C-alpha cells in the first residue's frame, strides 16, 4: 500500500482557502478533509459537520484534557482544533488528508508528525484581502481589523511552508493545489519500495 500524506493548508482569513478547497475536492474526491472543532458561533450558511463541529468552550476544554486533539489554537478569542482520531485513521489507511489550519496549528503538527506537506495560500495583495474581509459582511468592523492584524502575522510566516499559492485567479489556484497533491503522490517517500515487483 502506498503511504498517505497529511497536507496542511493555511492562509489568512479571506485568502480564499475554502473556495479553493471546494474546487480541489471536486477534482480529487478521494482526498479526506479534517473537520475541525471550533468554539466560535456558526456563521450564516455554515452547517454542523461540514467544515466544523461547533462545540462549547467547555466541550473544547474537555477535548484538550482528554488529549483528543492533534493541535489547537485560540484565534480571535475562539478555540480551533484538529481532532486526532480521523487523522490517525487516514495515516493508517494510507489516505491523503487535508487539514485547514492556522500557522500556529501548522507548527504544532509539523513538530509531531513527519509525514506532512504544507501549502500556504496568499491573497494577491493586502489591499485585496481587506476588501474581501469587508465584503464578506459576516463580521463587525473591529473583528475585521482583528482578522487583518492576524492576517499580516500569518503572511509573515508563509516562508515556513513547502509551497506558496497566490490566489489571484481562482481556477489557477485550484489547479496549483491539485498539481502539488498529484506531484507529491509520485515522490520517492511515498513509493512502496518494499513491495515493488512482488506481484
Ligand atoms: P474562520 O473563523 O474564518 O473559519 O477560521 C479562522 C482561522 O482558523 C483560519 O485561519 C483557519 O485556517 C483556522 N482554523 C480552522 N480550523 C482550525 C483548526 O482546527 N486548528 C487551527 N489551529 N486553526 C484552524
Mean pLDDT of 144-170: 94
11 C-alpha to ligand 1 centroid (Å): 9
Give the pLDDT confidence of 23-69 residue by residue, as tens digits.
Answer: 999 999 999 999 999 999 999 999 999 999 999 999 999 999 999 99
- Helix 17-27 and helix 170-184: axis angle, to 10°? 60
- DSSP class of 188: G
In a domain, 60, yes or no: yes
How much is the pLDDT for 177? 98
Q: Pull the grid cell for residue 144.
A: 475585521
Residue nearest to atom 12 of ligand 1 (CA): 101
The answer to whether residue 173 is domain-embedded is yes
Q: How far apart are CA 40 and CA 135, in angstroms?
A: 20
In a domain, 116, yes or no: yes
Domain assignment present for 92: yes
Give domain status of residue 199, yes or no.
no
User: What single-letter DSSP state applies at residue 48?
Assistant: B
Q: What is the mean pLDDT of the chain?
A: 93
Sign of CA dihedral 154, 155, 160, 162: positive
What is the count of structural domains for the chain?
1
82 domain residue, yes or no:
yes
Nearest in space to 129 (alpha carbons), one of 159, 155, 108: 155
Task: Tell me the whole-structure pTM to 2 decimals.
Answer: 0.93
Alpha-carbon distances, residue 76 vs 2, 127, 143 (angstroms): 39, 21, 8
Residue 155 lies in a domain: yes
Please give the residue range of the domain that contains residue 155. Answer: 6-192
Q: What is the mean pLDDT of residues 134-159?
A: 88
Which atom number of ligand 1 is nearest to the Cα of residue 100?
A: 12
Which residue CA neighbors atom 22 of ligand 1 most closely? 105
Q: Could you give the residue ranges of the DSSP H alpha helices within 75-184?
A: 84-93, 103-112, 126-136, 141-155, 170-184
| Rounded Cα distance, 134 and 3, in Å | 42
- Whether 197 is in a domain gets the answer no
User: Would you state the cell numbers that stand for residue 16, as one nine-digit string?
Assistant: 480564499
Pocket of ligand 1 (CB under 6 A): 10, 13, 36, 40, 71, 73, 75, 80-82, 100-102, 104-105
CATH of the domain at 18: 3.40.50.300
Amino acid at each position: 500500500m502506498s503511504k498517505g500524506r497529511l497536507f496542511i493548508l493555511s492562509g489568512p482569513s479571506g485568502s480564499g482557502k475554502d473556495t479553493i478547497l471546494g474546487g480541489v475536492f471536486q477534482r480529487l474526491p478521494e482526498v479526506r478533509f479534517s473537520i475541525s472543532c471550533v468554539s466560535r458561533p456558526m456563521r450564516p450558511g455554515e452547517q454542523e459537520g461540514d467544515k466544523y463541529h461547533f462545540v462549547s468552550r467547555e466541550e473544547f476544554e474537555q477535548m484538550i484534557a482528554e488529549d483528543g486533539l492533534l493541535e489547537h489554537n485560540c484565534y480571535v478569542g475562539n478555540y480551533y482544533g484538529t481532532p486526532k482520531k480521523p487523522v490517525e485513521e487516514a495515516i493508517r489507511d494510507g489516505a491523503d488528508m487535508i487539514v485547514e489550519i492556522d500557522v500556529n496549528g501548522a507548527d504544532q503538527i509539523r513538530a509531531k508528525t513527519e509525514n506532512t506537506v504544507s501549502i500556504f495560500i496568499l491573497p494577491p495583495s493586502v489591499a485585496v484581502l481587506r476588501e474581501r474581509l469587508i465584503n464578506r459582511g459576516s463580521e463587525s468592523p473591529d473583528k475585521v481589523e482583528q482578522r487583518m492584524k492576524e492576517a499580516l502575522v500569518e503572511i509573515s510566516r508563509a516562508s515556513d511552508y513547502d509551497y506558496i499559492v497566490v490566489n489571484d485567479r481562482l481556477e489557477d489556484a485550484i489547479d496549483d493545489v491539485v498539481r502539488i497533491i498529484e506531484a507529491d503522490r509520485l515522490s520517492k517517500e511515498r513509493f512502496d519500495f518494499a513491495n515493488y515487483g512482488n506481484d
